[in-house]
Amino acid sequence: MTEILGILNVTPDSFSDGGRWEKLDDAVRHAARMHEAGARWIDVGGESTRPGAVAIDPAEEQARVIPVVRALTDAGIPVSIDTRNAETARAAVAAGATMINDVSGGLYDPHMAYAAAESGVHFVVMHWRGGVDVEPSYIDVVSEVRTELRARVAELVVIGVPQEKIVIDPGLGFAKTAEHNWELLRRLDELTPLAPVLVGASRKRFIGRLLPANAPLGKRDAPTATISALAARSGAWGVRVHDVAATRLALDVWEHWESGGRVDRS
């Protein structure tokens, strides 16, 4: 069964929901709703990685995320921490997080790989060439992303991150054009032999290009759910989304299709 990570941005400036979940009670209520709707993990982030975003101090990031991580853990809700900073990752794991999701794959902070190795939790390693503002340049995007992710996974294993704890993410939208994103999705099955694959397409700009100009971001949820089902069909381990209910329904349809209606979630 494909896992769902529900996105919880406790930031003032994230591209989709910045400012909506800055208050602790609001964040916890929203996370609980996503968990009830089918999210296996709540992916808590305190720093925006949208185009043009400014990096913040890890202390400020931790002030945003650690109270949320603790509250969700106390409520029995599994938590993933979305961070590039090793200090924040360590603090979040100490507060109960069971997954580290690093958009830089441990390349932004040289201490992150060691933090992941010491923690023993799952580590999501995204393909990274320096962020969303880097100019895309590929001859064959899928082959190059596969090669670079394979090398990164090998480096992490040498450092001490358990192979079975590593999840890879092709990094849709990060130093990639819309065409690169679609090609990675079309050939996703070329990445799945490397490690479990997490797909993070939710509400991204390349999806917005399918819709009328100035369509609200929520209109991107239906195509995101479709991508989630197709990613599952291609072997994705998980999907990271804003609208958990829509994605859970799309995955339910795919699972019933595949099993002829014989779905067992026991």
The residues assigned a catalytic role are 204, 240
Q: Identify the residue whose tokens are 């590593």.
A: 166
Is residue 136 left, alpha or beta, with left meaning phi > 0 and alpha meaning psi from -120 to 50?
Answer: beta
Assess contact for 200 and 240: CB atoms under 8 A: yes
Angle at 20 between CA 16 and CA 22, to 5 degrees: 120
Q: How many residues does the chain have?
A: 266
Tell me how far apart the alpha carbons of residues 169 and 149 are, in angstroms, rounded to a whole number.
9
DSSP bridge pairs for 42: 6, 79
153 SS3 class: helix
Assess contact for 148 and 106: CB atoms under 8 A: no
